Chain A
Amino acid sequence: MHQKTQLQAETIRLISGTNTRKCMKCGKCTASCPAFAEMDISPHKFVSMVEHGEIDKLMASKSIWKCMSCFACVERCPRGVEPASIIEAVRQTVIRKQNNNYLRPENIPELLDPKIPQQALVSAFRKYSK
């Protein structure tokens, strides 16, 4: 593996605190995922792509913004791999870079909906911005 990709993968493993090698590719994470329909890369692929060092692709994927962090995959995984933590780690890697915030304050007015509780907006900022 290329040194850079190796380092990237190691960083993701470090941030997420997971061991992707434990995965035995059963797919229970993808089977449990409520956001599957919205995702371009499904949770089980996240695990194997980290294992293979394909972090750039993951950082560019739609999935990291579609994961609802419901942790169904973490709960159901028989091996304790925690795919949601990996997705979280990739998302963090993206937004920690300058000007990479996914949610900006100026976007808020158009998103506003009286049905959304304010708490959700606060959480969204936490999740999608530096």
Chain B
Amino acid sequence: MQRIGVFVCWCGTNIAATVDIDTVVEAMKYEPGVVHASDYQYMCSEAGQSKIKQAIKEHNLTGIVVCACSPRMHETTFRKAAKAAGLNQYMVEIANIREHCAWIHKDRKEATEKAVVLARTAVAKLNLNTPLTPGESSVVKRALVIGGGIAGIQSALDIAEAGYEVDIVEKQPTIGGKMAQLDKTFPTLDCAACILTPKMVDAASHENINLYTYSEVDSVGGFVGNFNVKIRKKARSVKADICSGCGICTEKCPSRKAENEFNLGLNKRGAIYIPFAQAIPNVPVIDRDQCIKFKTGKCGLCAKVCPADAIDFSQQDEIVEKQYGAVVLATGFNPIKLDNFDEFGYSQSKDVITSLELERIMNAAGPTGGKLLRPSDNGHPHTMVFVQCVGSRDTTGCGKTYCSKICCMYTAKHAMLIREKYPDVDVHVFYIDVRTPGKNFDEFYRRAAEDYGVNYIKGMVGKVAPTNGKLLVQGSDLIADRQLVIEADMVVLATAIEPDQTAKSLATMLTASIDTNNFFTEAHPKLRPVESPTAGVFLSGVCQGPKDIPETVAQASAAAVKVIGLLSKDKLMCNPCVANSNELLCNGCSNCQHVCPYGAIDYVEKEFRAGGKTSLRRVAQVNEAICQGCGACTVVCPSGAMDLKGFTNQQIMAEVDAICR
């Protein structure tokens, strides 16, 4: 039997004005388990707290009920007081007789009656409370960043600067991501490589950062503070530690058929290649599908010319297993496939290109050396048409329902750069809306339209027809209310972006949730925008939603701060109000595992002895470090084995009974 003390607070006149304190105190004296009941003007004050502490010692109390303001206000205060008096801090219950009673009722009799009910409800619950101890778990002081684009690099650099070890896993042979492919960046027009490559070098040379390029995450186990990750280092067929990066092999390779992914297929590369000149690490990779040695067994020219003897045809994938305290997801994006938008003629004409392809064409290190040339005949274009919202804001399932956010700005940038470099080129932009919120963004767009004479047309393109070496673009000008046909040399499609394909499998591995578009969801859309609902997993960059470079960098640093905050702790205190499975009752149905949003429930085979027999049964086990205590599992449990500490079925039933008494 509990020995309960009830303390009724007046809160000055806040409570005492409408609730008859004496009646409440008197009524509580006859509640089961109550051995002491008293009142005070301000329970939360120093004097009030010492009254509680004194009573706990004097009456040998096992639990206290404080009838006062909302537990959201002073629950922690009273828990601390109870703890100081030697009581378990979870043996404290609050009856909210201020916000939920005194402040909303005017009738004194009514309010007093309700206060009594609320107090006895708290007593009824406390009678079933058990002392709870928060669990502790250790923290591995190392972070994993998945994705080596600008988001991943920035997060890694910030975490490394704080003194923690960071590993970056990047599936491409080099870090740098999409930003490395860009030409200039809006709205300042500084060159992407000039601001990105120094960061790439910083990341590679930082003593706390370890790069796993051409690698993928194979599996993830564990939980916050203790993730156990298997990383697959794909076989490069080149010994990275010996290779000097001289590049002779890439020049001599006789296979020239592979499409150069870095240039989005606008030119060809060898079977052994370095994606781009500033790649980090500057080590080539053999594309085994294209390599003549791997296909026919004959060749091996690269091995012959390599001065360092670094080529290794027999290299195998290697699995590295490591522990991490936190994981940052920075998996980025890709432009969507345009198969569903045949009206724009992307598959029919080489001169219809995506904006990312135009970035490569405009880039001084790109396939045309930075000259604006028509892909079909390397001729100079005279008329260019840009089409915005290609695949964005489409609710028919052909494209994406959301706004890809960056297209308005990069299209303005492209149009402006072309008009600046080649004033003889006519540039038309078809738009549905121009969305340019952001610092100096709208000014930038207006500059393109007003100073550079880019022709912005409110309307959409209905058809692009390749005719006699030209592209007939049929569109609408809604302001003039007419249909236009423009004879263009090149058409640039502002293609929608979508999360990288790896997002889905990573979400499964990490039990991080994704939305219907495969973007990772944040723990709270406003107040916890860089955390995943899964503890210890953080989000950085476009994998969470479309965003431009400044926003990506801001989010990357924010995620890094959250990681640093987590890694700086030696022990993680867990919320003790977590689910708890009674193994003797569990029937192994897995219902709880399916509803758990955090993946906190595992099933284990366990031996049970009953009636002299030993049997093996599958039972649920809750990982207290991951469980957040929502209680979804408790309701689906058909055998009643799953319960939530601090809010047990019995406790809530007792509360219901106390109210309905």
Contacts and interface: CB of A to CB of B under 8 A. Distances in A.
Are A and B direct contacts in the complex by CB distance below 8 Å? yes
Interface of A: 22, 24-33, 36-37, 42, 44-45, 72, 76-80
Nearest to A25: B478
A84 B431 CA distance: 23
Interface string B466-480: 000000001111100
Given A27-B477, A80-B395, 16 more contacts: A24-B393, A24-B432, A25-B478, A26-B460, A27-B459, A27-B460, A29-B462, A30-B483, A32-B343, A32-B462, A36-B483, A44-B476, A44-B478, A78-B395, A78-B396, A79-B396
A123 to B, nearest CB: 24
A78 B395 CA distance: 6
Contacts of B395: 22, 78-80
Interface in B341-395: 343, 389, 393-395
Interface in B433-478: 433, 458-463, 474-478
B399 A32 contact: no
Residue in B398, B399, B462, B475 with the greatest tally of chain A CB atoms within 10 Å: B462
B474 A31 contact: yes
Contacts of B475: 27, 31
A108 B461 CA distance: 38
Contacts, number: 67
Residue in A26, A33, A44 with the greatest tally of chain B CB atoms within 10 Å: A26
Tell me if A's interface is mostly helix, strand, loop or mixed. helix
Contact of A31 (B389, B399, B463): B463
Given A27-B478, A44-B478, A79 B394 contact: yes
Contacts of A33: 462, 483
Given A24-B393, A24-B432, A76-B343, A30 B478 contact: yes
B476 A31 contact: yes
B495 to A, nearest CB: 14
25 contacts: A24-B432, A25-B432, A25-B478, A27-B458, A27-B478, A28-B476, A29-B462, A30-B478, A31-B460, A31-B461, A31-B463, A31-B475, A31-B483, A32-B343, A32-B462, A32-B474, A37-B483, A42-B483, A44-B478, A76-B343, A78-B395, A78-B396, A78-B398, A79-B393, A79-B396
Contacts of A22: 395
A43 to B, nearest CB: 9
A29 B477 CA distance: 11
A30 B343 contact: no
Interface size class of B (residues with CB under 8 A): 20 to 34
B46 interface: no
A30 B474 CA distance: 10
B148 to A, nearest CB: 34
Contacts of A76: 343, 462
Contact of B459 (A26, A37, A79): A26
A84 B603 CA distance: 56
Contacts of A42: 476, 481, 483
Nearest to B432: A26
A23 to B, nearest CB: 11
A76 B459 CA distance: 13
B475 to A, nearest CB: 5
A42 B432 CA distance: 17
B459 A30 contact: yes
Contact of B462 (A72, A79, A80): A72
B396 A77 contact: yes
Nearest to B391: A78
Given A31-B474, A78-B396, A79-B394, A26 B462 contact: no
Interface in B400-457: 432-433
A30 B476 contact: yes
Nearest to B457: A27
Nearest to B461: A31
A37 B483 CA distance: 8
B342 to A, nearest CB: 10
Contacts of B393: 24, 78-79
Contacts of B481: 42, 45
A72 B475 CA distance: 13
A124 to B, nearest CB: 25
B343 to A, nearest CB: 6
Contact of B399 (A26, A28, A44, A78): A78
A9 B399 CA distance: 30
B318 to A, nearest CB: 46
B394 A78 contact: yes
A80 B396 contact: yes
A37 B476 CA distance: 12
A27 B433 CA distance: 11
A24 B478 CA distance: 12
Given A42-B481, A44-B476, A28 B396 contact: no
Nearest to B393: A78
B459 A31 contact: yes
A28 B477 CA distance: 10
A26 B396 contact: no
The 9 closest A-B pairs by CB, nearest first: A32-B462, A31-B462, A27-B476, A28-B460, A31-B476, A27-B459, A26-B432, A78-B394, A30-B476
Nearest to A36: B483
A26 B463 contact: no
Contact of A32 (B389, B433, B463, B478): B463
